[in-house]
Structure 1
Amino acid sequence: MDRLVSLHSSVFGAIERFGDGLLPLLSRLIFAGVLLVYFWKSALTKVGDGFFGLVSPSVGAYAQIFPKQLEAVGYDSSQLSVFHWAVVVAGTWAEFILPLLIVVGLFTRLASLGMIGFVVVQSLTDLYGHGGIEHVETLGAWFDGAPDSVIMDQRAFWMLLLLTLVIKGAGVLSVDKVLQMRHVGQAAHA
């Protein structure tokens, strides 16, 4: 029995050590394949017209992020406050910048924490701002045998992927790794 445990520990210990760099890389690859374009398409719907579109959001941006407040002012976004504008602009930029940082592996832990916050706000807006809480299939439930709800099922996987990046970092092929190696090299020469 000791030989079996030793063999098991040896084989899976090597896999675990190899996986420390590979798991975050695969997480970033899956993020790129599944969520990068999703978030960028969403961000593009928020950009206003013209050259200053990134600081002059579309009415649709306000409708997505502040649906009840926009409805209360008759869908005239100019009636909303500077706070609403700042949140919409920051959210739009976050949808472009944070996914890009994750994919290239730059400030990955911070970008992943930012995306976790973004997904939490997105989920709460979907549930309460857009009325998804009234539809059981949108919220969903764990352990119900149906893996297709938007919030409890789908976004739980998003969170797991992002938490992996917060805990493990960017992995072997990343700008973070290059910067880390450069920093270690400079410290060794100092």
Structure 2
Amino acid sequence: MTHIFSIYRSLTATLERQDWLVPTLARIIFAGVLFYYFWQSGVSKIAFDQGIGGWLTPTDGAFAQIFPKAAEAVLYDVDQMTFLQKVIAVAGGWAEILLPLLIVVGLMTRLAAIGMIGFVIVQSLTDVFAHGVKLGMAANDAWFDRYSDGLLMDQRAFWLFLLIVLVIQGAGPLSLDRVLVRRTTTA
């Protein structure tokens, strides 16, 4: 039995030295599973089709997604948005575009992952309080139940775990962060 544990320890020691693997896989999985989801959501919030000024203009989709009750009350008329609502909608749209892009290319990865964690928390709170998404056993969205397909508790826990890995371990060797660190240490 001692021999088996010795073999096991030598194999796991090799795996533990692979500090490049987990952050690299985390970014690849983020790119494959979440990048396009957030990118499309961000692009849908900003009126790019209205020229340069559109880059700072929220869409009716942004109004409906972020402030559904207020949007419904004014029949989704973007001109009825308050200044603060417009700022939040545009900032949210740009966050959904820029933060995932930074994570995928591995630039300021830890900061971008922290921003995405905050974004996912706000997104989840908006889903619950503004859109009325139900949580708990009755909604099939609780932890430690037999279901693994809950849209908030289960799904967002995996998202947050992936982002926390990037906050703790950084982007890994195949990243702009690593390139910039090498350039600044050799200069």
Over residues 27-64 of structure 1, what are the superposed CA-to-partner deviations in whole Å (9 max), with x where a residue is unaligned? 00000000111111111221223113221111111110
For 1:148 and 1:134, the matched residues in 2 are separated by 12
Tell me what 2:15 maps to: 15
User: Which region of structure 1 is more displaced relative to structure 2, 30-39 or 42-51?
Assistant: 42-51
Note the C-alpha offset of 1:17. 1.2
Segments of 5+ residues of structure 2 without an aligned counterpart are: none
- Matching of residue 159 in structure 1 with residue 160 in structure 2: yes
Distance 1:71 1:2 in 2: 68
Alignment match, 1:29 = 28
Q: 1:135 to 1:141 in 2, by over 3 A?
A: closer
Structure 2 CA distance for aligned equivalents of residues 128 and 142 of structure 1:
20
Asked if 1:39 is matched to 2:42, the reply is no
Report SS of the residue matched to 1:162: helix
Q: Residues of 1 paired with 2:54 and 2:185: CA distance?
A: 41
Residues in 2 aligned to 1:105 and 1:137: alpha-carbon distance in whole angstroms:
40
**Superposition map of 1:45-56 within 5 A:** 45-48=44-47, 49-51=49-51, 52-56=53-57
1:98 is aligned to 99
User: Once the 2 structures are TM-superposed, how far is the Cα of residue 65 of structure 1 from its aligned partner?
Assistant: 0.6
Q: How many angstroms apart in 2 are the aligned matches of 1:55 and 1:138? A: 37
RMSD: 1.9
Mean CA deviation greater in 113-122 or 65-74: 65-74
Q: What stretches of structure 1 of length at least 5 have no aligned partner? A: none
Q: Which residue of 2 aligns with 1:123?
A: 124
1:151 partner letter: L
Report what 1:143 is aligned to: 144
1:182 is displaced (CA, Å) by 1.7
What SS is found at the alignment partner of 1:64? helix
Q: CA deviation at 1:71?
A: 2.3
Query: Is 1:89 aligned to residue 84 of structure 2?
Result: no
TM-score, with structure 2 as normaliser: 0.91
The residue that corresponds to 1:59 in the other structure is 60
Question: What percentage of aligned pairs have identical amino acids?
Answer: 52
Aligned residue pairs, count: 185
